[in-house]
């Protein structure tokens, strides 16, 4: 059976650095699973995210060895737009993820790039906003939303591309308790719809939605035993 996401002996070193950030990471994420990866700052969590989503090596260069497979296809043999329809990523910083004057434009950006018909884009907009419970904000400006709401819009913008896999790169790190609850509810809803989710976290309080937790320490992935 082809797994949604597989990592085989992944090593990565940033350009000009003398040390590997990721050291032989092996990982298999099962369909519909919510996997959390925890670790201290500098342990390589975000780098792992970049590798999983194809940002490394397509956007950020460096020395990557090993393989990341999305539905059995190596990320190295796919282009970023191809990856975008299979795997979506929500980043930490809400402000640099939202660049359109209205929520509608923001969520429509991805499907517009895929050259979908206007009717199809309308349907995807409606579905994505409903999934994150932000339908009432459709014509509003992202600038006037709270941190949590901004992250929900960033998530809706990714969901409008209809990816099977979602990655949350410390998406709850800059938002208040109410925002965290909203994001966690959205994650649970997406899990119920069969989406495969990888959450990168450093806050252990956010792990209650995860089915499995792994610890990334100094670039090595290992079972989590309750302590970072």
Select from 114, 204, 207, 220 the one that contacts another protein (CB under 8 A): 114
φ, ψ at 15 (rounded to 5°): -60, 135
Among 27, 48, 52, 89, binds another protein (CB under 8 A): 89
Q: Binders of another protein among 154-213, rule CB under 8 A?
A: 157-158, 161
Reference 75, options 93, 112, 48, 97; nearest CA is 48
**SS3 call for 22:** strand
Applying CB under 8 A, among 7, 48, 51, 55 the residue interacting with another protein is: 55
User: Could you give phi then psi for residue 192, rounded to 5 degrees?
Assistant: -60, -25
147 binds another protein (CB under 8 A): no
Cα angle vertex 179, ends 146, 197, to 5°? 120
Q: Locate 131 and state its tokens.
A: 């999934």
CA distance 222 to 209: 19
If the CB atoms of residues 93 and 185 are measured against another protein, the closer one turns out to be 93
84 binds another protein (CB under 8 A): yes
Q: Quick one: which of 73, 85, 127, 174 contacts another protein (CB under 8 A)? A: 85
The residues that touch another protein, with contacts defined as CB under 8 A, are 53, 55, 58-59, 80-81, 83-85, 88-89, 91, 93, 95-97, 99-102, 104-105, 108-118, 121-122, 125, 157-158, 161
């Amino acid at each position: 059976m082809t797994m949604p996401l597989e990592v085989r002996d992944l090593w990565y070193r940033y350009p000009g650095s003398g040390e590997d950030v990721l050291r032989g990471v092996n990982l298999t994420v099962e369909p519909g699973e919510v996997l959390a990866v925890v670790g201290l700052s500098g342990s390589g969590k975000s780098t792992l995210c970049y590798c999983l989503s194809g940002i490394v090596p397509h956007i950020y260069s460096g020395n990557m060895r090993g393989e990341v497979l999305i539905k059995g296809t190596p990320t190295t043999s796919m282009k970023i737009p191809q990856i975008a329809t299979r795997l979506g990523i929500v980043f930490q910083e809400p402000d640099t993820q939202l660049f359109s004057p209205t929520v509608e434009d923001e969520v429509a950006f991805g499907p517009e790039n895929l050259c979908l018909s206007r009717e199809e884009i309308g349907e995807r907009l409606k579905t994505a906003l409903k999934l994150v419970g932000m339908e009432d904000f459709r014509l509003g400006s992202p600038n006037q939303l709270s941190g949590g709401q901004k992250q929900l819009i960033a998530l809706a913008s990714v969901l409008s591309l209809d990816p099977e896999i979602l990655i949350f790169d410390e998406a709850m790190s800059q938002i208040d308790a109410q925002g965290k609850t909203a994001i966690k509810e959205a994650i649970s809803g997406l899990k119920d719809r069969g989406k495969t989710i990888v959450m990168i976290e450093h806050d252990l309080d956010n792990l209650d939605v995860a089915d499995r937790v792994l610890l990334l320490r100094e670039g090595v992935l290992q079972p989590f035993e309750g302590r970072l």
